[in-house]
Structure 1
Amino acid sequence: MLDPTAQTDYSLPAPSSASGSDSIGFGFDQLYGSSNRVAEPLEIPFAFPGIADNPIGALHCATTTIDDHGRLSDRSTLKALKWTAGQNVSFDGDHRMVIARCVRQSRWTVGRNGYLRLPAASRHRCNLNPGDRALIAADLTRDIAVILPIPVVAAALWNYLPEPWQRAS
């Protein structure tokens, strides 16, 4: 096991002409140690719960700003979902999130420049105002985009992992 308190000397060795096969004056083994040595695996001091059993699947996330008309400034999630201009989109959700899905017929569409515009009712329900930031999580396996206001993301982080956010006493 690696000793995290051990001091390591990162200085380069003095050049020597003894190593004839090395054009820069010192060999790899001198700099990094013997090449036949097997590196010890690093231990991760924490474990992510259920990371192998991720129920969400392929996920693409981005943060975005909301403009005066509800347009989300980020298009990378729509590109990851392969949603194109003119595609019909439905919106549902609750006070915590807006869920966007592609549908056959809808009142709302992806804008001609590839931007998603949230309907006023969805923005008001989630208390999303012009200039606010939000997280867009695109589930690539279910073909949905979940838009979360940053206060909801902060509450989720606090509830799931409060330790980093607590003040030292």
Structure 2
Amino acid sequence: MRRSAAVTAVADMTVAPLIPPLTPPAQSKGTDRRLGTLRRPPLPLPDLPAARKSASVYGLAAIDVSGRIADRMIVRAFGWGCGTRLQIRESAGLIVVRRDPQGVFTLTGQGHLHLPAAARKWCGLQPGDWLLLAADPIAGVLIVHPPATLDAVVAQIHAAALGGEQHE
């Protein structure tokens, strides 16, 4: 069997380096002798959104077969205790929960939020569904975002980030 060697010609191209230039180290503390006498400047950071302007608290929790949501961080943010009376209603595909002294619903003895069957049906919730819990302790309102709502919001944000390109 005869072997043949293939030779490919490559054009001489110079690629500019992507590494920041070396600069002399600072004369003060923090000089790392292991790196030698020259040090690279820090890499640039991307522009990030401004600091939060909200006191909202977020949580992710799965709903169990009985409609319970076990997220104590959200409950603590409101200062709610076992037996706290609540108003639970649907609004625009979301579940809105507020403290209400005349409320029909209450937190369970373990401090879990129990979504009644009607609320689960309004939003098509199934056991095991993950929910985004958005609590605004100052306004005293908890918004429960079902998976269908999260899918719609995330698709919209991703389309904007990808320049209108939609992925399924």
Q: Please, what TM-score do these two structures have when normalized by structure 1?
A: 0.68
Which residue is 1:119 aligned to?
116
Give the distance between the partners of 2:74 and 2:147, measured in 1 at CA. Answer: 17
Out of 26, 31, 43, which is 2:45 matched to? 43
Measured after TM superposition, the shift of residue 32 of structure 1 is 6.8
Which residue is 1:78 aligned to?
75
- Name structure 1 gaps, 5 residues minimum: 9-26
Give the distance between the partners of 1:6 and 1:41, measured in 2 at CA. Answer: 9
Give the distance between the partners of 1:32 and 1:81, measured in 2 at CA. Answer: 51
CA pair 107-161 structure 1, distance change in 2 beyond 3 A: same
* Paired residue secondary structure (1:61): strand
CA deviations on 1:87-115 (whole Å, 9 max, x unpaired) are 11101123521010001111111111100
Out of 101, 104, 108, which is 2:101 matched to? 104
CA deviations on 1:126-150 (whole Å, 9 max, x unpaired) are 0011111111111122111110112
Q: Please, what TM-score do these two structures have when normalized by structure 2?
A: 0.69
The alignment of Structure 1 onto Structure 2 pairs a total of residues equal to: 139
Measured after TM superposition, the shift of residue 33 of structure 1 is 8.2
Once structures 1 and 2 are overlaid, which stretch shifts more, 133-142 or 152-161? Answer: 152-161
Which residue is 1:6 aligned to?
19
Give the distance between the partners of 1:79 and 1:110, measured in 2 at CA. Answer: 12
Runs of 4+ in 1 over 3 A off after TM superposition: 31-34, 39-43, 51-54, 163-167
Give the distance between the partners of 1:32 and 1:166, measured in 2 at CA. Answer: 46
Which residue is 1:149 aligned to?
146
Given that residues 95 and 127 in structure 1 are in contact (C-alpha distance below 8 angstroms), is that contact kept between their aligned partners in structure 2?
no
* Paired residue secondary structure (1:161): helix
Give the distance between the partners of 2:52 and 2:60, measured in 1 at CA. Answer: 25
Give the distance between the partners of 2:97 and 2:132, measured in 1 at CA. Answer: 13
Give the distance between the partners of 1:32 and 1:63, measured in 2 at CA. Answer: 44
* Percent of aligned positions that are identical: 26
Give the distance between the partners of 1:87 and 1:145, measured in 2 at CA. Answer: 14
Given that residues 95 and 125 in structure 1 are in contact (C-alpha distance below 8 angstroms), is that contact kept between their aligned partners in structure 2?
no
- Name structure 2 gaps, 5 residues minimum: 1-16, 22-28
CA pair 6-147 structure 1, distance change in 2 beyond 3 A: same
CA deviations on 1:44-72 (whole Å, 9 max, x unpaired) are 15x54xx5684xx2111111111111101
